[in-house]
């Protein structure tokens, strides 16, 4: 049975997300406490309906300060987190 409910991002997962190149610059932050004040984050255990679709951790990050910034989507690929390219988030 699929679980569509959002999950809290663990401390370890936040640390891994913040290792992604450009993450601090995108949010105009210099440390983790700044990120916690400026960014909403949620995790999903994603399962695609399509056999060839994505299966795994899916993270959505949204600015708490600007509703005009598009959310950043992060997935796990080959064991590492990566930002899904989005033309509305030119930093990544």
pLDDT-based confidence at residue 59 (cuts at 50, 70, 90)? very high
- The 10s digit of each residue's pLDDT in 20-33 is 998 888 888 888 88
CB 89 within 8 A of CB 69: yes
pLDDT of 90 > 70? The answer is no
pTM of the predicted model, to two decimals?
0.81
> How is the chain split into domains, by residue range?
11-83
Token pair, residue 66, equals 């600007």
pLDDT-based confidence at residue 13 (cuts at 50, 70, 90)? very high
Residue 67 has a pLDDT of 76
DSSP one-letter string for the chain: ----S-BPPPHHHHHHHHTSTTHHHHTT-SSHHHHHHHEEEEEEEEE-SSTTS-EEEEEEEEESS-TTSPPEEEEEETTEEEEPP-TT-TT-
Residue 83 has a pLDDT of 92
Token pair, residue 24, equals 């601090």
- Say which residue, 87 or 27, is predicted with more confidence: 27
């Amino acid at each position: 049975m699929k679980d569509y409910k959002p999950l809290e991002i663990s401390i370890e997962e936040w640390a891994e997300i913040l290792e992604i190149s450009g993450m601090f610059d995108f949010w105009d932050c210099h440390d983790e406490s700044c990120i916690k004040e400026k960014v909403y984050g949620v995790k999903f255990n994603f399962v695609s309906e399509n056999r060839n679709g994505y299966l795994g951790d899916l993270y959505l990050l949204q600015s708490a300060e600007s509703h005009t910034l598009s959310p950043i989507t992060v997935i796990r690929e080959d064991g590492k987190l990566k930002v899904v390219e989005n033309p509305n988030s030119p930093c990544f």
